[in-house]
């Protein structure tokens, strides 16, 4: 469960008179006449907007759910919405993971204290149904290099670094002039891809915008892809873009945690529209490993994607070989069953350690969880207080979540040493299409 809390907006209300012993939380789709004390904005999968508002007094003409808190509004640090399913999972205890910025603890993830495993049981051998590939060369590696300046300004150095890591497919940002619907500076793109082709490196366009799943943004996303297809029609074979990768990540949007199925269905609609818009170009989707368990409103997410993509890249961002294999397995089994290529991605970029604040059920506490309309509200307080209408949690201890669990940035030698054994292991699945490396130097 991922939830960014530091996005709360603090509004100073110098002339406001606070009630001595109460505050109000409300969900609204329209702005009140007086600004709230705090406000957290959300999106829904259809593109609508709504907000969670903290006020000292009850708002007139409420157009949504509301609840009174038995506490002065100044006692509330922040409040966010969580789904009812998430609230049930949090009943035994809560872990808030994040970092402190300018005196505010910014929460990146909300975790149940007794989290169920997010992976399948460890299995060291591929399933018997996975026929081994013939002995020979392993699938080539791929890498992301997002900044277009890297390939524009120093293409020779750019390609030299890729060769250093045995990369034969690179995902790059290729800018598009949205007003005209054409690739920006097509001559520079042609020259770069020509140079890469001469070295046996394929160039894919990568496009990543979480808002691409919104109905209003979906057509723009398709138009960018169609600009790549139009570019290919005018380019020589050695200058053509080899495919398009979608790295959309809708779970970044505020509101995803409240309706996984709805947002996942919107995600599939965008990928489907993209494939329909550029049917002649190979299409990949970059997916986090936990998408293996995700569902849409119709089916499992991977099953709905199967007819829309030619391959997926699993962002399998762990550094332990056992976890990497475990998180990859559901995708490889799916890829084998649905005849879809699967790349396994590792993280090599810089990430920071994060603090984990642990909360346990208590009679009085500084974290409340209470029903609010079709959701629950999580409320962080400055002091420990009781609330008979809420599940109450008290801060018990802190721990650290080390970035070294996710990224090889501080130990690139470990990644280089691990890659051959992972490639050999994954080679047993015919759908395996190589390792993908993120955050290369």
Where do the domains of the chain lie?
9-116+354-401, 141-351+404-438
State how far the Cα of 28 lies from the Cα of 438, in Å rounded to an integer.
40
Least Cα distance to 396 among 366, 355, 353 occurs for 366
Q: What are phi and psi of 62, to 5 degrees?
A: -65, 135
Q: Under the phi-then-psi rule, with left for phi > 0, alpha for psi from -120 to 50, and beta for the rest, what region is 314?
A: beta
CB 83 within 8 A of CB 112: no
End-to-end CA distance of the chain: 31
Per-residue pLDDT of the chain (441 residues; tens, 9 = 90+): 444 444 443 333 334 444 557 899 999 988 888 889 999 999 999 999 999 999 998 988 766 799 999 999 999 999 999 999 999 999 999 999 999 998 889 999 999 997 554 444 445 556 555 555 555 567 899 999 999 999 999 999 999 999 999 999 999 999 999 999 999 999 999 999 999 999 999 999 999 899 999 999 999 999 999 999 999 999 999 999 999 999 999 999 999 999 999 999 999 999 999 999 999 999 999 999 999 999 999 999 999 999 999 999 999 999 999 999 999 999 999 999 999 999 999 999 999 999 999 999 999 999 999 999 999 999 999 999 999 999 999 999 999 999 999 999 999 999 999 999 999 999 999 999 999 999 986
For residue 59, what are the contacts with CB-CB under 8 A and spacing of at least 6?
24, 26, 28, 32, 53, 66
Judge whether 349 and 52 are in contact, CB under 8 Å: no
* Angle (CA) 389 391 396, round 5°: 140
Distances (CA, A) of 52 to 111, 253, 368, 376: 21, 15, 15, 11
pLDDT of 139 reads: 86
Question: Strand pairing of 66-69 and 23-28?
Answer: antiparallel
Strands 66-69 and 94-101: unpaired
Buried (b) or exposed (e) across 50-83, using 16+ Cβ within 10 A? bbbbbbbeebeeeebbbbebebbbebbbbbbbbb
Tell me the C-alpha distance between 196 and 235, whole Å. 14
Cα separation values, 379 from 54, 108, 174, 338, Å:
10, 16, 43, 44
Residue 287, beta-bridge partner list? 314
Nearest 5°: the CA angle 118, 124, 128 is 105
Q: What is the pLDDT of residues 330-376, one digit of tens each?
A: 999 999 999 999 999 999 999 999 999 999 999 999 999 999 999 99
- Per the CATH hierarchy, to which homologous superfamily does domain 141-351+404-438 belong? Glycosidases (3.20.20.80)
366 and 394 Cβ atoms separated by less than 8 Å: yes
Task: Give CA–CA dist 74/217, Å, rounded.
Answer: 38
d(CA 416, CA 437): 11
- Write the pLDDT tens digit of every residue in 150-198: 999 999 999 999 999 999 999 999 999 999 999 999 999 999 999 999 9
pTM of the model: 0.91
- Measured between alpha carbons, how far is 199 from 210 in angstroms, rounded to an integer? 33
H-helix or E-strand containing 9? strand 9-10
Contacts of 117-123 with CB under 8 Å at 24 or more apart are 118/289, 118/290, 118/293, 118/327, 119/289, 119/323, 119/326, 119/327, 120/326, 120/329, 120/330, 121/326, 122/322, 122/325, 122/326, 123/326, 123/329
Q: Which of these, 89, 90, 9, lies nearest to 42 by C-alpha position?
A: 9
* Amino acid 102: pLDDT: 87
pLDDT value at residue 135? 52
What angle, rounded to 10 degrees, do the helices at 412-426 and 321-338 form?
40
Using alpha carbons, select from 28, 31, 37 the residue that is nearest to residue 9: 37
Using alpha carbons, select from 327, 299, 296 the residue that is nearest to residue 314: 327
CA-based nearest residue to 57, from 12, 16, 11: 16
In this structure, is the dihedral angle defined by the CA atoms of residues 242, 291, 78 and 41, taken in order, positive or negative?
positive
- What order of strands is seen across the sheet that includes strand 23-28? 9-10, 38-43, 49-55, 23-28, 66-69
Q: How far apart are CA 364 and CA 376, in angstroms?
A: 19
């Amino acid at each position: 469960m991922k939830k960014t809390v530091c996005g709360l907006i603090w509004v100073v209300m110098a002339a406001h008179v606070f009630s001595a012993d109460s505050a109000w939380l409300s969900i609204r789709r329209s702005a009140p006449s007086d600004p709230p004390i705090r406000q957290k904005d959300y999106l829904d999968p259809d593109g609508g907007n709504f907000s969670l508002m903290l006020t000292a007094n009850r708002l007139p003409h409420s157009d949504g759910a509301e609840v009174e808190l038995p506490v002065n509004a100044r006692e509330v640090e922040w409040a966010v919405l969580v789904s009812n399913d998430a609230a049930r999972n949090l009943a035994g205890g809560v872990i808030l993971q994040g970092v402190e910025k300018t005196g505010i603890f910014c929460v990146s993830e909300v975790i149940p204290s007794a989290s169920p495993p997010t992976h399948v049981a460890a299995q060291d051998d591929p399933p018997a149904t996975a026929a081994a590939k013939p002995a020979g060369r392993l699938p080539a590696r791929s890498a992301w290099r997002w900044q277009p300046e890297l390939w524009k300004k120093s293409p020779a150095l750019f390609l030299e670094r890729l060769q250093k890591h045995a990369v034969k497919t690179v995902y790059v940002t290729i800018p598009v002039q949205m007003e005209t619907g054409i690739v920006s500076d097509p001559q520079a793109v042609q020259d770069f891809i020509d140079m890469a082709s001469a070295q046996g490196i394929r160039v894919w366009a990568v496009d990543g915008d979480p808002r691409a799943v919104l109905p209003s943004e979906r057509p723009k996303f398709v138009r960018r892809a169609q600009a790549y297809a139009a570019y290919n029609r005018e380019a020589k074979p050695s200058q053509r873009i080899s495919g398009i990768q979608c790295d959309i990540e809708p779970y970044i949007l505020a509101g995803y945690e409240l309706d996984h199925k709805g947002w996942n269905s919107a995600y599939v609609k965008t990928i489907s529209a993209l494939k329909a818009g550029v049917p002649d170009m190979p299409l990949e989707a970059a997916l986090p490993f936990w998408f293996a368990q995700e569902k849409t409103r119709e089916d499992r997410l991977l099953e709905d994607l199967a007819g829309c993509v030619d391959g997926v890249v699993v962002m399998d961002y762990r550094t332990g070989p056992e976890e990497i294999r475990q998180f990859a397995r559901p995708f490889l089994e799916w890829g084998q069953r649905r005849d879809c290529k699967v790349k396994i991605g590792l993280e090599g970029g810089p990430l920071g350690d994060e603090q984990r604040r642990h909360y346990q059920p208590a009679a009085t506490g500084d974290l409340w969880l209470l029903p609010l309309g079709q959701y629950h509200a999580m409320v962080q307080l400055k002091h420990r207080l009781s609330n008979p209408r809420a599940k109450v949690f008290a801060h018990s201890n802190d721990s650290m979540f080390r970035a070294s669990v996710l990224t090889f940035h501080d130990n690139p030698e470990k990644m280089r040493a691990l890659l051959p054994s992972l490639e050999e292991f994954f080679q047993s699945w015919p759908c395996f299409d190589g390792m993908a490396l993120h955050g290369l130097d």
